[in-house]
């Protein structure tokens, strides 16, 4: 199998082209076709000599991923299920900006990316870990989730005219959250390679401050990330503010208990400034009692972190449920009373299984014939 061109950095491609005695500007032409025009065939790259196109084709694979299933309408949260070359399924979720919330342009979107097929961390509430871990995504498979959605968007009929008229197609994605399937920091090297491509001006052109990496709490990799030159935002899936509660739902807490996690976060915070968010899913009777407020506030205060409360999204086959709204509001109010900056997410995409790994799980089960197909 040929190496995938979207796993390579600019310098690496440049080196290959130098070996072929091609002029330096060819590298930028190729990158333009890959990341601005989102080409899905070598033949589209019409300003490259045929000989070079043939050479590229016999050396690299374009690695275009196939859209297998899509849920949601154009102006709300949309979920994309991709089929990879080994027939693995991974998902990405496209979330429209909320102009009223952040004052952003309404044509902009946040994309939630997957980094692994399945997940080995087995959090008790999560659909991604239910069938275990299959493999890491390659850099190009992470990059291509962004490019494929931009390509899909370009091909919407009403956009064609605009795209044809402009030398460089606009982008709709200006924010990335690495909160799809998988534990991103367990696929560290491929993640960093992919994000450096998505961040580069010649690649995805998405600012590092617009990229949030979510982790279940891999303390050593958090420290490693703190030492990288990138200013990525970090989100910690906390979901419990005492070891007792957290270990009950997140096995990773036995390996890296709260004290160790907090120290790693403090190191990140120290190196990068105020860039940490705690994600806290509210699960009825598990972590929604007010006894969590004190330790949670203490942790948030120490790390200068913001708390995002997320009502739990029901997963087929799992017993957990979200608390009623009164309980959610009481939890939020109690945090605010402690002087903590907190938000309660009125989740988008609840109706299309937007939480991580759910569409893939459902589709895998349908393909196996466990349940009837309900959606297209």
> How near is the Cβ of 119 to ligand SF4 at its closest, in Å?
3
Which residue in the set 110, 145, 277, 313 belongs to the binding site for ligand SAH (CB under 6 A)? 313
What span, in angstroms and rounded, lies between the C-alpha atoms of 236 and 265? 9
State yes or no: is 356 an active-site residue: yes
Site string for ligand SF4, 190-219 (x = CB under 6 A): --------------------------x---
**Annotated catalytic residue, options 22, 91, 141, 279:** 91
Report the SS3 class of residue 135: strand
Tell me if 183 contacts ligand SF4 by CB under 6 A: yes
Which residue in the set 48, 117, 179, 198 belongs to the binding site for ligand SAH (CB under 6 A)? 179
Binding partner at 172 among ligand SAH, ligand SF4, none, C-beta below 5 to 8 Å by kind: none
Binding partner at 355 among ligand SF4, ligand SAH, none, C-beta below 5 to 8 Å by kind: ligand SAH
- List the one residue out of 220, 195, 223 whose CA is nearest residue 210: 195
Which positions ≥6 away from 222 have C-beta within 8 Å?
185, 215, 234, 261, 264, 265, 267, 268
Tokens of 37: 């025009």
State yes or no: is 336 an active-site residue: no
**Do 123 and 354 touch, CB atoms closer than 8 A?**
no
Handedness of CA 256, 289, 304, 115 (dihedral sign): positive
- List the one residue out of 319, 38, 317 whose CA is nearest residue 173: 38
Binding partner at 81 among ligand SF4, ligand SAH, none, C-beta below 5 to 8 Å by kind: none
Closer Cβ to ligand SF4, 130 or 146, answer by number: 130
> How near is the Cβ of 42 to ligand SAH at its closest, in Å?
34
What span, in angstroms and rounded, lies between the C-alpha atoms of 9 and 281? 37
**Do 41 and 62 touch, CB atoms closer than 8 A?**
yes
Residues that bind ligand SF4 (CB under 6 A): 119, 121-123, 126, 128-129, 182-183, 216, 237, 356
Task: Write out the catalytic residue numbers.
Answer: 91, 356
């Amino acid at each position: 199998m040929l190496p995938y061109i979207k796993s390579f950095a600019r310098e690496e491609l440049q080196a290959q082209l130098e070996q072929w005695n091609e002029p330096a500007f060819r590298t930028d032409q190729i990158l333009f076709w890959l990341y601005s025009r989102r080409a899905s065939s070598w033949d589209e790259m019409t300003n490259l000599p045929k000989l070079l196109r043939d050479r590229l084709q016999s050396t690299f694979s374009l690695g275009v991923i196939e859209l297998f299933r899509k849920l949601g309408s154009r102006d709300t949260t949309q979920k994309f299920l991709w089929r990879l070359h080994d027939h693995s399924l991974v998902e990405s979720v496209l979330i429209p900006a909320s102009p009223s919330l952040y004052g952003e342009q309404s044509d902009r979107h946040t994309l939630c990316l997957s980094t692994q097929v399945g997940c080995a961390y087995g959090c008790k509430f999560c659909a991604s870990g239910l069938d275990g871990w299959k493999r890491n995504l390659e850099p190009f498979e992470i990059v291509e989730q962004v490019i494929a959605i931009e390509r899909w968007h370009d091909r919407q009929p009403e956009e064609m005219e605009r795209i044809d008229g402009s030398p460089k197609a606009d982008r709709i994605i200006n924010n990335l959250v690495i909160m799809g399937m998988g534990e991103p920091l367990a696929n560290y090297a491929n993640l960093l390679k992919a994000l450096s491509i998505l961040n580069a001006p010649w690649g995805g052109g998405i600012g590092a401050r617009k990229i949030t990496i979510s982790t279940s709490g891999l303390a050593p990799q958090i420290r490693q990330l703190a030492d990288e030159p990138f200013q990525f935002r970090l989100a910690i899936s906390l979901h419990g503010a005492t070891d007792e509660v957290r270990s009950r739902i997140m096995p990773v807490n036995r390996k890296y208990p709260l004290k160790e996690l907090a120290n790693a976060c403090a190191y990140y915070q120290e190196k990068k400034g105020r860039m940490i968010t705690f994600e806290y899913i509210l699960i009825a009777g598990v972590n929604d009692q007010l006894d969590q407020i004190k330790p949670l506030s203490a942790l948030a205060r120490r790390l200068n972190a913001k708390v995002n409360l997320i009502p739990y999204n029901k997963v087929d086959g799992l017993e957990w449920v979200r608390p009623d709204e009164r309980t959610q509001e009481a939890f939020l109010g109690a945090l605010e009373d402690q002087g903590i900056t907190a938000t309660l997410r009125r989740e988008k995409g609840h109706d299309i299984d937007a939480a991580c790994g759910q569409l893939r799980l459902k589709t895998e089960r349908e393909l196996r014939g466990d349940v009837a197909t309900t959606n297209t």
